[in-house]
Each structure stands twice: as structure tokens, then as C-alpha cells.
Amino acid sequence: MSDENYFSESYISGTVKHVIFRKEENGYTVLKVKVKKAVPDCENSSVTVVGHFPVIESEERYTFSGVFKEHPRFGKQYQVQSYQKEIPTEREALVGYLASDRFPGIGQKTAEKMVDTFGNQVISHVLDNPESLGEIKGLNEKKRNDIYNAMLENQGMEKAMTTLTRYGFGMDLAVKIFHTYREQTLEVIQDRPYQLVWDIEGIGFYKADRLGRNIGISFNDPERVKAGILYVLYEKTMQEGHVYIPRFQLMEEANVLLSVEQELISKDALEESLLELMEDDKLVQEEDRVYMASLYFAEMGFSTKVKKLLKAKSEEDPFPESEFLKAIGKTEESFGIEYAEQQKIAIKKAIHSPLMILTGGPGTGKTTVIRAIVEIFLHLHGYSSDPSTYSKEEPFPILLAAPTGRAAKRMKESTGLYASTIHKLLGFTGEEDMESSDYKEEGRLQGKLLIIDEVSMLDMWLANQLFRAIPDDMQVVLVGDEDQLPSVGPGQLLGDMLQTPSIPVVALSVVYRQAEGSSIIELAHSIKRGALPGNIQQPQTDRRFFPCKKHQVQDVIAKVCEGAMNKGYTALDIQVLAPMYKGEAGVNALNERLQKLFNPLNDKKKRVQFGDVTYQKDDVILQLTNNTEEGVFNGDRGEVETIFEAKETIDKQMQIVLNFDSKEVIYTRQDLNQIMLAYCSSIHKAQGSEFPIVIVPMLMSYRRMLRRNLLYTAITRAKDYLIICGETEALQFAIENELKDIRYTRLKEKLSEDDDTAAINES
């Protein structure tokens, strides 16, 4: 494709006269261009050009392809979709260009030889065929390398950008690629295009494959086949939660992904690529199971550490029965409570065990037991219960943590002690590679007792990093509800551990909050047993069911929210939870509708557009990633406090101030990929949280997502009031569908293996 054809639909060719604004982080630039040629015609005029450019030079001539758009404040602008720096084509001008200071090592005579040998496309020719410089007499190897590198530095970036945009990459993504590889960009996209899948967020196998095929990589090229195998395995772990994939399944799915029309990848090619990936330590095969290397070592490391903790030596009875009963009595008196027999068993097991699991559904007293464990542990060991009496050298002996910020906050409120997220506890900054098996040192945590809540949310990677940091003499109590959804990431940690006989478990089964009149708890336990209560459609003091069809759901939810607002509830008090993102009753559509109700767009309020979403002051938002540096985490809910336009800030960047539970965090526009509107959320995102009012739509159109554990997780998020709206048949379908998604994991078996068996298998 010639440049003329490439820029034929709409283009501007001219000289950059002034850079008005530039943001180095993503290359977003506003410039003034003196136009020489253009389609549509705007010759000899000055045009404001906006776009993402890795490098832009004043007084240089460029050709920009894009469209004119009218900005509401700044008027007519040319928005660039692709661009290319212009190189002189006339012989004399081109010789002068090559002989300039831009290209050290090329003098006047060498420049003339090069132009005469390769013509007016000399730079493109040399960049595509560096070995051709051998045709120019008088150039030794060092000079040839110097010339090629100078050309790569001066023109390779534009060539790389042009290549990327021609093959369907947007300018912002092309800039991201360039900022990752810099002067190696051209080399990577020409020689290793599949590397983009792993290095650049937002590029999957299909985009990289389109680039690879366009630059001539064959369908059975070993690098393409290896990338396809890795991609299938990675997607299976991240999308379906598997820790490994059966070998035959991996090969079958890789074959489907990699085959082109009637051309099938041969079995030999797949086998050879799989072997190379294992030799490169990217994959591990254990019998007929294939792991990503990081997950294999995470599973192995976690199981080894658990067995090590369980073997920790302790006295038969560290504390006499009389002393334990005395501590129980003192704690009961202090809290004004009388512990049931089941709860006393759980407390005693926690005090005496190096590692134990406390499980139970809502209302069974898990929080009550946690408080008692903390108090009695401190009393029996003679520790002060006042955290202020401790120092950095001798820290408080009990650590409390949970996978999400909301869960940690609930833990803190219920115990009165400091609780953090696991990421913060481990000192993660958010920049580490969570798939690495050893980036945190072993045994770094300080303390005597660690209590982790909401363990069902722990994936294999994070669990391994947490247990690596636990000293061998620290006691561990894991708390969770086995009937909730498993982790979003790979593994089913709590389920596997509960099936391991060597791990002490106390399952609380007596429901206490039900006796206090909570019909939400009654409903949860009924669902847990696989039954839909006969009174589901009868109004209760803390829950209601509104029958409606899919096309009515938005109106019903809006009406319920409006009624709650009239009673004094705010958008932060109300959480709508939907099983799916797409469709008229999905998370995205419901967020759009509820934003109009809770915070309708108002010209008096500042706003910012990001993708298809408009954020405005007072909007409720959800954090989607861990931002440890700012102290906000995946699942945290907050509000848009205010928005400052670029002209109002010192560094001339738009700033969005978000408020998370009175913690203000400043984001720039490019950080908005970390948040979404949160009037409605997915059920997975609400794990570990509680809300005063929860609204759950249930429709048969959600059929492929409906599971008992999904419904159970949704309704147990309601603290005070639960609204279910939709179709009773959808409720019934979800309750009857107790099948849990099968996750391939070997944790249960590895936890049950003795060390000799494990050593044999590993060898």
C-alpha cells in the first residue's frame, strides 16, 4: 500500500509550527500545523491537530490522516488516526537530509551513493533490508551498523507507528506499544509480533495474529504456535479459574485457535512447540496436566507451606482446660455474651491449632467467634489488648486481613482492631508481577496469630504469596463461607482445603440471626439447602419480591430506588447486583438508567467522557484494580468528589478527585480505566461486601450464569433489606442448579500427599 493511497481519504500535510500541549505519559499532543496540502481542501491555513504521538518535532513536515471534529470549547480540530513524517523525495534534498546531523556517519558522498543505489525510498529500503548497506563501497561493519541504528532512531518510530495503524491498531494503542519497546518497536512488531500479547495490556492473540499474518508470518510458524498454546492456557486460567488444563484439551483448543480456514496445525508442530515452551520454563507438565509455570509453583509452594505449618510442634495442652475456661468466662462477661457449645469448640480449636478453618453461612456467628479468638489468644498469652502499647520493633501480635478493602473494613468494624487487605499486609505496591513465584521473601510477616477472612475469594497466586510470608511459628485461622462463589482468579482454595482431612475445620451451623427475625438469613439457608421458600412472594419485614419480565426490570428497579431515596437512603446505601454485563437487564444498561435517576447529567456539574461512559461529580463508582500506592483496592466503592479541567491544574492535566470512605484519591483521565459506574455491579465484584439495601434482578435471560452459589452470594450481601425482582422460574432454576463450574486443580491431592510421595512425583 503506498503512502498516497493510505492517506487518500482525508489527510493534512504540513509543517508543525507549535506544540500547544503534550502529555509525555501517553503521547497525547495538541499542535498547530501550517497546511501545505489537504483533503478536504484547507491549504495555506493553520489547523489544530490532536492525537497520540510518541515523538513530534517542530518545523518538521508530517502527513496526518484523520477527521475534522468540532470541540465544544476549542472549536474545529483535526483528530489524527495515523501519521507519518515526510522525507524529501527530490534527489538533492534527500542527499542533504541524509548528510545532515540526524545521521552521524553519513557524509555527502556516502549519501549520494545511497540515493543513487536505492532511490528516493532509501530509508525504507535500508530499514527493511539492513544487509543491503553492504552494497555501498567504503562502509565497514561498524559504519553500516551506525547508519542503520541512526535511521531506526529517526525514522523507525514513524515506520512502526504507520505499520501498526495500517494493521488496525489505534493511535493510543500504537503509542503504548512504542513506549514499551522504544527503539526496538520495529524489531518486535516485525520479528516477534506475538510478544505483544504478553507485554501490552489490551492486545489479545487475535490482534497480534492479525499483525503477524499481515507481515508475512506463516500459519504454522513455531512462534505463532507457541503463542497460541500459551494464550489458550492463560485464558482458561483467567476466564474459567483453572490451575492447569488436561493436555489433550489444551492441544485440541490450541488447534482450533491456530487453524486457518482448511489449513490445520499438525500434531507434530503442536507437540514440538509445547516441548519448547517447557524447555523455556514457561509451562510445566505433570503427568497429563499442563500448567503455566507460575501456577504450578504457586500450587506446589502453597501446599508445601500448609503441610509445614500443620507439622509445627506444640505442647499437647499449651493451656490447661481450667485456664481456657476461665478465659472464655472472662470474655463472655466482657462482651455480655454466652458462647454456644459449637462456638466454644471453634475458639478452642483455633487457640490450639497451628492452622484451622472456620466456616459457616450468614448469621452463624463467624464474626462473634473471631472476636473471641482474638480476645482469648491475647489473654492466654499475656499480651496487652491495647495496640498503642506496642512498637515497630515489637508489633501487635495479631494480624487481621481480607482479600478486599470492603471485607477488611467490615473485619475492622466487627473486631475493633486494625485490619488490612492482603496486598497491603504483604507490602505490594501494585507494580509487582503477581504471577511471579518468589518476589516476596519468605517468613516476612511479624506476629503470632494471623486471621484471614473471606478466604473463598483467595486465588492460587495470592494465596501462595501470603503463605510464603507466614513464619513457621505463626498460627493461622482461615475464615470463609464454602457456599459462596469461588475466587475470580485461578483455583478453588477454600473448597480444596475443606476436603483435606489433615486440616482442622469447624463448620458453624446454628443460625443465630434468624432467631432475631432476619428473613434474609432464612432465605439464604433455604437456598443453601436447595429449596425456594413458599413465602417468597409474601412481603417480609426485611425483604420483598416483585414479579416482572425482562423489559420491565429497569422500571421496577428505578421505582424501588426512588422509594428508598424518598426514605433518606443514598446511592451509596443501595447496591443493584446483576449476573451479566450485557443486555437491557445487564450491569451496563442498569448503570446507565440508574445514573439518570441518582445523578442526572447537569450542565452545572463538571463531567468527563471516557469511552461510552460519562462521569460526573457525585457519581458512585467502583474500583476495578488494586491501587496499593493510593490505598484503594479492587471492589472499593466511592464517589466522584470533583473534576478539575486541565487549565485549572498546575501540570495542565484533567484531574478527577474520587472519594473512597473519606480518602481522596486523584486520578487523571487515563486512570479512568481503573473504575466503572457502581449503581449496579456484578455479583462477583460484590464479594466481601455488605450494603444496607441490595436489589437483585433474576431473569431466565441470565440462564447461562444462574447457579445456586451465585444467587446465594448475591442475597447474602444485603445487610438490612433485600429486593428480588424478576421471574420466579429464574429463582427456581438458579436454586436447583447446584452444579459448580469445574475447576482443574490438584491442590487437594497435593495437600494430602506425604513428603515422600510428593518428592517422587516431582522427580
Q: What does 708-761 look like in DSSP terms, one character per residue?
A: HHHHHHHHTTEEEEEEEEE-HHHHHHHHH--PPPP----HHHHHHS-HHHHHHH
79 DSSP assignment? E
- Say if residue 289's pLDDT is above 80: yes
Using alpha carbons only, give the angle 536, 569, 554 rounded to the nearest 5 degrees.
Answer: 55
475 DSSP assignment? E
471 DSSP assignment? -
Using alpha carbons only, give the angle 634, 639, 645 rounded to the nearest 5 degrees.
Answer: 110
Predicted pLDDT of residue 158: 65
**pTM of full prediction above 0.75:** yes
Predicted pLDDT of residue 654: 77
pLDDT tier for residue 201 given thresholds of 50, 70 and 90: confident
Torsional sign, CA 576, 582, 585, 590: positive
3-state secondary structure of 489: coil
End-to-end CA, the chain: 55
Average pLDDT along the chain: 85
Gap between the Cα atoms of 485 and 567, Å rounded: 32
Write the pLDDT tens digit of every residue in 214-245.
888 888 889 899 999 999 999 999 889 999 99
Write the pLDDT tens digit of every residue in 396-428.
999 999 988 888 888 888 888 899 889 889 887
pLDDT tier for residue 185 given thresholds of 50, 70 and 90: confident
Sequence-separated contacts (24+) of 89-92 with Cβ below 8 Å = 89/120, 90/120, 91/115, 91/120
Predicted pLDDT of residue 8: 43
Predicted pLDDT of residue 130: 84
pLDDT tier for residue 329 given thresholds of 50, 70 and 90: very high
Using alpha carbons only, give the angle 207, 212, 218 rounded to the nearest 5 degrees.
Answer: 135
- Say if residue 114's pLDDT is above 70: yes
In order of 295, 422, 425, the CA distances from 459 in angstroms are: 10, 12, 16
Percent of the chain with pLDDT over 90: 42
255-264, 538-547, 608-617, 752-761: which range is least confident on average? 752-761
In order of 61, 476, 524, the CA distances from 681 in angstroms are: 49, 32, 20
Per the structure block, which three cell numbers stand in for 413? 468494624
- Say if residue 761's pLDDT is above 50: no
pLDDT tier for residue 294 given thresholds of 50, 70 and 90: very high
3-state secondary structure 335-403: HCCCCCHHHHHHHHHHHHCCEEEEEECCCCCHHHHHHHHHHHHHHHHCCCCCHHHCCCCCCCCEEEEEC
165-179, 288-302, 535-549: which range is least confident on average? 165-179
Q: Based on DSSP, count helices (H) and strands (E) in the chain, helices before strands.
A: 28, 26
**Max mean pLDDT range (42-51, 561-570, 638-647):** 561-570
- Say if residue 6's pLDDT is above 50: no
Predicted pLDDT of residue 745: 96
Give 3-state DSSP helix, strand, coil % of the chain, rounded to 5.
Answer: 45, 20, 35
Predicted pLDDT of residue 514: 47
Predicted pLDDT of residue 3: 42
- Say if residue 304's pLDDT is above 90: yes
Predicted pLDDT of residue 392: 82
3-state secondary structure of 507: strand
**Max mean pLDDT range (260-264, 429-433, 442-446):** 442-446
Classify residue 264 as exposed, middle or buried by CB count within 10 Å of its CB (0-12, 13-18, 19+). middle
Buried b (16+ CB within 10 A) or exposed e, 590-611: bbbbbbebbbeeeeeebebeee
Mean predicted confidence (pLDDT) in 28-41: 82
Predicted pLDDT of residue 414: 81
Buried b (16+ CB within 10 A) or exposed e, 653-679: bbbbebebeeeebebbbebbebbbbbb
Per the structure block, which three cell numbers stand in for 347? 475458639
Predicted pLDDT of residue 758: 47
261-270, 341-350, 394-403, 423-432: which range is least confident on average? 423-432
Indicate the helix (H) or strand (E) that contains 280. none
pLDDT tier for residue 156 given thresholds of 50, 70 and 90: low
Predicted pLDDT of residue 515: 46
* Paired sense of beta strands 28-39 and 46-52, if any: antiparallel
How many angstroms from the chain centroid is the CA of residue 56? Answer: 33
